[in-house]
Amino acid sequence: MKRSTIDLWVGAFVAAGFAGLLFLALKVGNLASFSTAQTYQVQAKFANIGGLKVRAPIKSAGVVVGRVSEVRFDNESYEAIVTFNIDAHYRFPRDTSAKILTSGLLGEQYVGLEAGGDGVMLKSGDRLRLTQSAVVLENLISQFLFSKAAEGKDSKDSKDGK
């Protein structure tokens, strides 16, 4: 095997490897978005974050405007403190509300921002006042069952002529 042919093949091999890595990073992964964008940080407290995870998307009007960067537990208020990294291009008013929503019926949880009407915009380090916790499925089901049971009892009572 000639020395130059070997070098050629090895060079092609390494180049192909890097091309594959680039393909994975750009076409398959999310390198194309958000890695170089400037962000500012905003916090919010939730009674229950449900299944919200770090790196979950933050959407407003359905468009991704940021990512969850940190989730902590506040031992004094016994609530969750979630930190958002919001893209610097998007400014939100101070009275924006944050809700934890689920994509689809059983999908991933994300944060939905609904802009308020305040003239002053959020700055880095601000805290959102209005928040709505995640809907926990078990609570929903037990609520449903309880209300169904109550309905049944009412109709039975009315039938028995209370």
- Judged by the rule CB under 8 A, the positions of this chain that interact with another protein are 1, 3, 6-7, 9-10, 12-14, 16-18, 20-21, 23-25, 27-33, 35, 53-55, 57, 71, 104, 106
Rounded to a whole number of angstroms, the distance between the first and last alpha carbons of the chain is: 100
Smallest distance from the beta carbon of 155 to another protein, in angstroms? 35
Tokens of 62: 């359905």
Segments in the chain forming alpha helices (H) = 3-23, 137-159
Inter-residue contact 30 to 14 (CB < 8 Å): no
What pairs with residue 14 in β-bridges?
none
Smallest distance from the beta carbon of 161 to another protein, in angstroms? 47
Smallest distance from the beta carbon of 27 to another protein, in angstroms? 7
Nearest residue (CB) to another protein, 1 versus 61: 1
Nearest residue (CB) to another protein, 69 versus 97: 69
Smallest distance from the beta carbon of 64 to another protein, in angstroms? 8
Inter-residue contact 82 to 68 (CB < 8 Å): yes
Nearest residue (CB) to another protein, 23 versus 146: 23
Q: How many CA atoms lie within 13 A of 48 on its CB side?
A: 9
Helix (H) or strand (E) holding 65: strand 63-74
Nearest residue (CB) to another protein, 74 versus 118: 74
Nearest residue (CB) to another protein, 22 versus 149: 22
Inter-residue contact 43 to 5 (CB < 8 Å): no
Smallest distance from the beta carbon of 88 to another protein, in angstroms? 21
